[in-house]
Amino acid sequence: MTDYALEVEGLTKRFGGKPAVQDVSFKAACGEITGFLGPNGAGKTTTLRMSLGVISPDQGTARLFGQAPDAAGMDRVGFLPEERGVYRKMTAESVIVFFARLKGVPAGEARRRAAVMLERFGLADAAKKKIKELSKGMAQKVQIISAIVHEPDFVILDEPFSGLDPVNQSLLEQVIREQAEAGRTVLFSTHVMEHAERLCNRIILMARGRKVFDGTVDEALAQVPRQVTLGAPEGEPMESVLSGFGDLERTGVEADGAVVWRLTLKPGADAQQVLRACVEAGLKLTRFEPRRPHLHDAFVALVGEEGARDLDAPELSEA
């Protein structure tokens, strides 16, 4: 037995002499939700393919359940590839049953699970429709079901939220939580940070083919300097009271004439200390708004605006 569903060490891959993935190492712990995050083109899909033995690395190794990826290990995996593709002339139900049978689920049980999951995903009325008759979003939900219908120990989803509208993105988040609550390991890649921020126990951030961060969401957010937005009438001695807490910048004037300031806190300072200092100094504040950092901010802090340019741009389609 191993504590990790997936362990990769030093994975490197070049295409046409150009590096796509460079010396990437990480582990996906059993029973956890791990987010594999980064802009489009960061090397996420290539890394996942090498991890499962779909393509061979130029350097490095991957272990699936403690062993080199093989057929027995893959039977315990549910994989949603980035390239969507199901048999267009088959019905939604028959596609799901087919993939369940490939993973060893008996025919009767495969049909029962297909019916339950089609209902769960709001597709019961589409069970007998051919894939070519479904919308893009509906077809994607069929493929997601096909990846998890055999109740795998390890679920790997490559950009699963792309192509889903906000309602179905929320449904998929709940399904991912349910997979983890059932004791399964989940690893999903995405370029939309908000999904990972809500779901993940651990995240790996990728940029330009390299891993730039590996840790918890809280550890990632700790990379971001905290900020506080303040408002006060013109003439209040903001600089003299607050300059010791960090970098203070005047950013504008509101309609009522109050001046707006942004305070970027230095390490060790917190918003409550700032508020206490304002009260003790008798400042007449019109605004006091601590800004909660997000994973997008953490990524920008780690790689810069240019490296994070393609983040948080979800592709939407009809349900």
Residue 302 DSSP symbol: H
Among 190, 221, 252, residue at a domain's last position: 221
3-state SS assignment for residue 66: coil
Whether residue 238 is found in the same domain as residue 178: no
Whether residue 41 is found in the same domain as residue 179: yes
In a domain, 307, yes or no: no
In a domain, 205, yes or no: yes
In 3D space, the residue among 78, 80, 95 whose CA is nearest the CA of residue 133 turns out to be: 95
Whether residue 209 is found in the same domain as residue 231: no
The type of residue at 87 is Y
What the block records as the tokens of 292 is 């909660």
Cα 255 to chain centroid, rounded = 39
Whether residue 50 is found in the same domain as residue 128: yes
3-state SS assignment for residue 82: coil
In a domain, 259, yes or no: yes
Q: What pLDDT digit, counting tens, does each position of 113-129 carry?
A: 999 999 999 999 999 99
Whether residue 63 is found in the same domain as residue 206: yes
The DSSP H or E segment spanning 220 is: helix 217-221
What the block records as the tokens of 287 is 């605004």
Domain range for 265 is 227-292
How high is the pLDDT of residue 279?
95
Q: Which residue has the tokens 């199901």?
A: 86
Number of domains in the chain: 2
In a domain, 66, yes or no: yes
How high is the pLDDT of residue 292?
86
* Composition of the chain by helix, strand, coil, percent to 5: 35, 30, 35
Residue 246 DSSP symbol: E
How high is the pLDDT of residue 242?
94
The type of residue at 285 is L
Distance CA 134, CA 140 (A): 9
Residue 105: phi and psi, rounded to 5, are: -80, 130
3-state SS assignment for residue 86: coil
Among 204, 221, 238, residue at a domain's last position: 221
In the predicted model, what is the mean pLDDT of residues 20-36? 94
Distance CA 147, CA 315 (A): 21
Parallel, antiparallel, or unpaired: how do β-strands 33-37 and 185-190 relate? parallel
CB 54 within 8 A of CB 47: no
Whether residue 239 is found in the same domain as residue 140: no
CATH code for the domain in which residue 250 is found: 3.30.70
Whether residue 161 is found in the same domain as residue 190: yes
Q: What pLDDT digit, counting tens, does each position of 138-170 carry?
A: 999 999 999 999 999 999 999 999 888 999 999
pTM of the model: 0.83
In a domain, 312, yes or no: no
Among 185, 202, 221, residue at a domain's last position: 221
Whether residue 68 is found in the same domain as residue 120: yes
Neighbours of 128 (CB within 10 A): 10
